[in-house]
Structure formats: C-alpha cells, structure tokens
C-alpha cells in the first residue's frame, strides 16, 4: 500500500508555488522531507495547520528537514496563501490528485481531501504517516517527534 511507514516513498514531482519543479529524490541524502497534505488554502483548519508549520519551521530547519505543503489549489492560490501568512516553506499544487494517489492519502467521509503528514528520511523511506482531519497542530508535533528520533539515531 502506498504511503506506508517503512516503505520507500514514491519519487513524485512537485510543481511549487515559486514556479519551480522538484522531485522528491532531489532531497535524498541531503535532507529529510516533511510532506503535509491539506484540503484547501485559506480555510480555518488548513490555515491553522499551515501557520503551525510556519511557527515551527526553525525547528524543522535545525533538524535538517524541508517542509512541503500540498493541496489541490493552483500555484497562484498557493503563492497568495504563502504571502498572506508569511509561509517560509514550499507549497505544491496537486490539481488532479496525483500526489494524493501516489501516497494513498485517504479521503475523510469519502468526500473531503484527507489531511495526512509524512516524514521521509534521507534514504527516501517513509518514517511517519499521520492522518487527522481536525487536529491540525498534532501534525506538527508528530513530524517533530519523528525527526527528533531520526536525528538521535544518526
């Protein structure tokens, strides 16, 4: 099953809000990656989650991790969202849901795009897959806990 802890993360390509394109493997051997899938820019819970990742961003940097937020919104929407809330990390557009499918992000109640956070280590292995539609702050906590454990084991 895609997106399962202990498996290799799919080497997907991201179209970022700054106009650039990167592949997940571009970060391998250099940094861990925190991917957080969220339903929509500028909605209350999603904004809270995005700002929680923003506020904890120095912690992620100190743990040598890059953060990428992913939703179906356009690059233009992401650019405005990032500017409005001073988001220091990358936002990727997934209009067709291909990234969600590649990671097996579940839908909530069968209709809402799921809210799932993944931590991928420097070898490309998924170390965390955490889903919680309404507890946005827990995504940051779980990602930091996982990265701290990885950092201590190295």
**Catalytic residue positions?**
46
Q: Cα dihedral sign for 15, 149, 138, 108?
A: positive
CA gyration radius for the chain? 14
Q: Kindly list the distances between the CA atom of residue 118 and the CA atoms of 19, 55, 153, in Å, as whole numbers in the listed order.
A: 23, 18, 19
Measured CA to CA, the distance from residue 139 to residue 122 in angstroms comes to 20
């Amino acid at each position: 099953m895609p997106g399962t802890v202990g498996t290799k993360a799919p080497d997907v390509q991201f179209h970022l809000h700054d106009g650039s394109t990167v592949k997940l493997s571009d970060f391998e051997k250099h940094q861990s990656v925190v991917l957080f899938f969220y339903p929509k820019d500028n909605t209350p819970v999603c904004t809270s989650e995005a700002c929680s990742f923003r506020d904890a961003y120095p912690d992620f940097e100190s743990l040598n991790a890059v953060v990428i937020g992913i939703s179906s919104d356009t690059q233009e929407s992401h650019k405005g969202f990032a500017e409005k809330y001073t988001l220091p990390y990358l936002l990727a557009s997934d209009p067709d849901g291909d990234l969600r499918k590649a990671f097996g992000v579940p839908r909530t109640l069968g209709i809402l795009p799921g809210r799932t956070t993944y931590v991928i280590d420097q070898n490309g292995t998924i170390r965390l897959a955490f889903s919680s539609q309404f507890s946005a702050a827990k995504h940051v906590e779980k990602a930091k806990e996982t990265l701290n454990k990885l950092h201590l084991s190295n």
